[in-house]
Structure 1
Amino acid sequence: MRDLVLLGLLPLLLYFMAKRPFIGLGMWIWTALFFPNAWVYGPASHIRYNLLFTGVAILSYLAMRDKPKFQPGRLGSLVLLFFLWTTLSTMMTLAPPDISWDYWNRFAKVIVLFVFILLVVQKKLHIDFFLWCVVLSVGFYADLEGLKFLGSGGGHKIEGLTGHVLGDRNELAVAFVMTLPICYYLLGEYGKRSRLLWLALLGTMCLLVASVIGTQSRGGFIALAGFGAYLFIKTDRKIPVLILLVLLAGGLSMVASEEWMSRMNTIESADGDASFMGRVVAWKLSFILAVQNPVFGGGFKALEYFPVWSKLSQQFFSYSWFYTGDALPNTEIARAAHSVYFQVLGNQGFVGLAIYVACLGGAFLKAARIAGKAKELGAPDWVRSLATMLQLSIFAFALGGAALSFAYFDLIFAIFALLIVLEGRILPASLKELAR
């Protein structure tokens, strides 16, 4: 049945994507985050939807008559410089070249999406459609899994889809938190127009929170707690937000299992948790890898290549100030870095990490600058709201990603691009409309 529905809708989707590039762009991120192939089992499962929709979006853009200028600005230039740096590091990779280049190819697709957002998005409608597609991918999965979690009384453990970019439950949890501020923005814009949309978005936000708990991810929980505190600080609706947070906390405490409680309690005593200290070992080896290759690092997946891991382990006691407790490197298998910062440090060296952190910090500050400028110049309220919520999404990623190998996630680079477009193209256009 799912195959028939998807195959029946496909020609219609392709037609609208061919007519409107921004629709193709939205479907591009939808397929990247939703992974439709995992939801169908017949002939529809053999179609490469992301490749198909990407191709149609690109062709649709090429057919556009009045193409906007490509204006990456400083943030966009930093992102492109980082991509160049990953290319150079891949050329000198310490991992098997086929593995590193395969990972580089995945990241190249993320950068192509980033570039096409800058090329295609021109209006509020385009941004809103793109964000709706994010909610209808990550948010839809949270709706299904969150209901299972609540329906089972907290017994259902939420996992990602096998083979998907969000297949790991920890990464999935951070993606859930990143989607929360997007829902909040859409709730403010569309909730007042339709009671049904208001209920759907509010329900999705509640289920996103429940789904974070259901993953039993400590990194996701930290990101969620940080998001809640930061949202309370940034929002103009402090009383309703506080009431919602209290109700959610009270409700979820009733379904949180003892296993979840015990896992979260290990946050307070991280140095006694073997799983966490194993990550610290990987961080230290990533640091040693960067010390030995300070400019370009070891390349994608270098740390996870056991000969490299084993060689780095021989230098493990060279940096005694890097505390790892009693934990030692695994002598049988290599492990991932488990931190976006140490992941980039090991993969692209100290220079690559500096560029990456500059991208994150630059985007965070740009969002704050847009919100401030919108308020100062009297721009429409939605501009300030969008900038603030995208800033919150970056904050959630930066906080939750500190313990995850998630540095090259599609959505964070898409948010970078949306902020560039918002400041350079959409904010000036909204101010001109007000001046008329």
Structure 2
Amino acid sequence: MRDIALALFIFGMLPYILMRPYIGLLVWSWLGYMNPNRLCYGFAINFPWVQVVAIVTLVSLVFSKDSKRIPASSITVLLAVFFAWTTLTTLFAVETASAWQWWEQFGKILIMVWVTLMLVRDRQRMHFLIWVIVISLGFYGLKGGIFTLLTGGSHHVYGPAGSFIGDNNDLAQALCMALPLMRYLHLQSQSRRLRIAMVLSMILTGIAILGTYSRGGLITLAVVSGILFLKSRGRIGVVALAAILGMIAYQFMPSKWTERMDTLHHADQTDSAQSRIQSWEFAVNVALHRPLVGGGFNIYQNTEMWRRYGPEGATPRAIHSIYFRALGEQGFPGLALFMALLIASWKSCGRVRKYAIGLLDLKWAYDLASMMQVSLVAFMIAGLATTSAYFDLSYQLMAICALLPYIIENKLVKSIDHQLAQPRT
């Protein structure tokens, strides 16, 4: 039944997407982050829904009268250069076949990031996109939070299998990135009921992060709570949220959760930490021997490379750090470009905050820029121990960071034009 319902919805949306490519962007984002097909049981699980929607969206965009100009910024330039660099490293990749598969997947993500840059031209479209992201990931926050409460935290919370957020650590990272966006919607909502709903969503999402049993998720949640306090209006609410989650963590969660979190005090002695460190050493050794192009996508799957560059006795595994993964796969220039993207995104939001502070009609931009910075921090902190260097949400957030100054500039120009058009008295 779920398969049929999903198929009817997607195919029913295609005519609207053909008329308005922006609808296609929203549907693509929903499919990419929520992965509703992974909640089905039949033909819908492996059907290429994202590809179908992306193709129809691109066809619609070609024939659309909407402006297709991409705002010029350091972020957009770096996105193009980074993709070009991954193309070069893939040409010299060790695991050629799988590297090209990852390159294709990354390219598809960036194509829709470019579509985001083309189509999100005003506050309303930006707001709707944030809503789709929050609803998509918030579904797993609500579901995971309720599941944790009902089971007493005795079971791990996972994302949909076969997706970017299927692993408990990746899900915790994504939910930590979604929390600031929920806070933005809470700040901007005019409805009291909606504000209450967003508060409950943030609480349950925080509980879901605890329920993932991810130690990196716990650290990231603590950091996000602190930066939310520094960056957000209405700080008493942030303190109350942190207090509630802290109380639940140490009064409600079972002893096995507490014991797992206590290993943070001697993380270097745990098997998982040792295996992560070994993967970092492997990535560094690969980069030192191939400093320009690294090993290419999926270098960690090559057993021979692990034998040559991995620590003695290490078991081949994924590189659990977005930074070391970028280094091992894309070389030192690739890591530099990756870091430059994160820094440029942060600075772009910083400029918006500086310009919009104290301006009533730009309060939304100030809030969104602030929360985008918190989401970036969540990605960077959780990414210390996850493999999600090419997580689609992180690159779409970078696009939003690039778009914010452009939208504000357009609003300012329109305001000036309106004032000039008024007759003088």
**TM bracket (short chain):** over 0.9
Residue 71 (structure 2) pairs with residue 89 (structure 1): no
- Cα deviation, residue 378, structure 1: 6.0
Question: Which of 338, 363, 386 is equivalent to 1:381?
Answer: 363
Change (3 A) 1:45 1:284: closer
- CA–CA separation in structure 2 for the residues paired with 1:89 and 1:428: 37
**Residue-pair matches, total:** 417
- CA–CA separation in structure 2 for the residues paired with 1:114 and 1:122: 14
Write out per-residue CA displacement over residues 332-356 of structure 1, whole angstroms, 9 at most, x where no aligned residue.
Answer: x411110000000000111110111
Structure 2, unpaired ranges of 5+: 420-425
- CA–CA separation in structure 2 for the residues paired with 1:128 and 1:388: 15
State the AA in 1 paired with 2:250.
S
- Preserved contact between residue 379 and residue 431 of structure 1 (Cα < 8 Å): no
SS of residue in 1 equivalent to 2:265: coil
Instruction: Let me know the Cα RMSD of the aligned residues.
Output: 1.7
Change (3 A) 1:377 1:145: closer
- Cα deviation, residue 16, structure 1: 2.7
Report the equivalent of 1:257.
254
- Cα deviation, residue 367, structure 1: 1.0
SS of residue in 2 equivalent to 1:267: helix
Report the equivalent of 2:64.
64
SS of residue in 2 equivalent to 1:229: helix
- Cα deviation, residue 200, structure 1: 2.6
Which region of structure 1 is more displaced relative to structure 2, 134-143 or 349-358? 134-143
Report the equivalent of 1:278.
275
Write out per-residue CA displacement over residues 297-331 of structure 1, whole angstroms, 9 at most, x where no aligned residue.
Answer: 01011123111111113xx4xxxxxxxxxxx542x
State the AA in 1 paired with 2:87.
T
Matches within 5 A, 1:319-338: 328-330=312-314, 333-338=315-320
- CA–CA separation in structure 2 for the residues paired with 1:8 and 1:394: 36
- CA–CA separation in structure 1 for the residues paired with 2:104 and 2:44: 25
Write out per-residue CA displacement over residues 72-102 of structure 1, whole angstroms, 9 at most, x where no aligned residue.
Answer: 411111111111111111110112x111111
Change (3 A) 1:42 1:403: closer
Matches within 5 A, 1:22-41: 22-41=22-41
Report the equivalent of 2:153.
154
Which region of structure 1 is more displaced relative to structure 2, 410-419 or 297-306? 297-306
Structure 1, unpaired ranges of 5+: 317-327
Report the equivalent of 2:405.
423
SS of residue in 1 equivalent to 2:156: coil
Q: Equivalent pairs: percent with the same residue?
A: 32
Report the equivalent of 1:394.
376
- CA–CA separation in structure 1 for the residues paired with 2:50 and 2:345: 26
Report the equivalent of 2:218.
221
Report the equivalent of 2:422.
none
Write out per-residue CA displacement over residues 268-294 of structure 1, whole angstroms, 9 at most, x where no aligned residue.
Answer: 212222211221111111101000000
- Cα deviation, residue 45, structure 1: 3.9
- Preserved contact between residue 380 and residue 430 of structure 1 (Cα < 8 Å): no
State the AA in 2 paired with 1:268.
H
SS of residue in 2 equivalent to 1:380: helix
Change (3 A) 1:43 1:90: closer
Report the equivalent of 1:341.
323
SS of residue in 2 equivalent to 1:268: helix
- Cα deviation, residue 112, structure 1: 0.7
Residue 269 (structure 2) pairs with residue 269 (structure 1): no
- Cα deviation, residue 433, structure 1: 4.9
- Write out the 4+ residue segments of structure 1 that deviate beyond 3 Å after TM superposition: 42-47, 376-379, 432-436
Question: Which of 189, 192, 198 is equivalent to 1:201?
Answer: 198
SS of residue in 2 equivalent to 1:231: helix
State the AA in 2 paired with 1:127.
M
Matches within 5 A, 1:95-134: 95=95, 97-134=96-133
Report the equivalent of 2:286.
289
Which region of structure 1 is more displaced relative to structure 2, 129-138 or 8-17? 8-17
Question: Which of 342, 354, 357 is equivalent to 2:339?
Answer: 357
Report the equivalent of 1:18.
18
State the AA in 2 paired with 1:367.
C
- Cα deviation, residue 393, structure 1: 0.3
- Cα deviation, residue 56, structure 1: 1.9
Which region of structure 1 is more displaced relative to structure 2, 247-256 or 230-239? 247-256
